[in-house]
Amino acid sequence: MIRIERSGLQLRHGVAWLQQQGFQPPQLRQALGQSLAWEQPLVTVYGKQHRTPRLTCWVADPGCTYRYSGLQQVIHPWTAELETLRQLLLDQLGVRFNSLLLNRYRDGADRMGWHADDEPELDDQAPIVSLSLGAARDLRFRPRRGGDAPFAIHLADGDLLVMDPPSQRHWQHALPPRARVQHERINLTFRVIRPA
Ligand SMILES: O=C(O)CCC(=O)C(=O)O
C-alpha cells in the first residue's frame, strides 16, 4: 500500500486492492446495487432540511446506531458479500469492523460535502477503511486548521483507502461533483462504533 502522510494525517492507499483479493469489482457493485435497501434520507444541515445528494445504506451489528446531520440511520444486516469483506479486512488489518456506511453516487452530480468522521459514537482509535467501486472519483483532503495544502486522491474501481487515527481529528475530506462522470460509484466505509 502507498503511504500518504501529512501533519496529523496518515493514509494508506491500496490500488486495485479488491482485484488483488480475487474479486471482480463490477460484480460486487451490481450485487450491492440490487440487494441493499438504498435510501435518500432527509438531513438537516445548518438548520435546513434536504435530501442527501447520494443514496446511502447503513449496515451494522445490532446496537451499533449512528447519527449524523440530525439523522439516525436504520440498521441493515450484513449480507454474505459484505461479511466476506469484513473478514478480509480483519485478516489484513487486524481490525474487526462492526459497521459500514455505503454511499452510492448515481453519477458525477452526486457528491459529499466537507466533513470528518468524528462523531462521538465512532471509536477514534480505529481506522476508517474505504473501498471504492465503479466510476473513479477524487477524494479531497484539507487540514482543519491550515498548515498543509489541500490535495486529492484519485480513487478508482477496487481501490482501498485506510484512514488511520488521528486523521479524522485534524483533517476533513469531501467528494466534489464531477460533471463529466456519467457512471455510478459505490463507496463502502468500514467503521468501529462503540455500542450504546
Ligand atoms: O465516497 C467517498 O469516497 C467518501 C465517503 C465518505 O466521506 C464517508 O463515508 O464519510
Residue 130 has pLDDT above 90, yes or no: yes
- pLDDT at position 57 is 95
Residue 70 has what pLDDT?
64
In this prediction the pTM is 0.95
For residue 68, what pLDDT band results from cuts at 50, 70 and 90?
low
Burial of 140 (0-12, 13-18, 19+ CB in 10 A): middle
Residue among 71, 102, 130 whose CB has most ligand 1 atoms within 8 A, to mutate: 130
Domain ranges of the chain: 2-191
Q: How far apart are CA 67 and CA 174, in angstroms?
A: 18
CATH classification (class only), 2-191 = mainly beta
Looking at the predicted structure, is the pLDDT value of residue 72 above 80?
Answer: no
Overall average pLDDT of the 35-44 stretch: 90
Distance 47 CA to ligand 1 centre (A): 22
CA of 175 to the centre of ligand 1 (A): 7
pLDDT digits (tens, 9 = 90+) for 136-195: 999 999 999 988 999 999 999 999 999 999 999 999 999 999 999 999 999 999 999 997
Residue 60 CA to ligand 1 centre (angstroms):
17
Q: What is the dihedral of CA 76, 31, 99, 39, to 10 degrees?
A: -50
Distance of CA 62 to the CA centre of its chain: 20
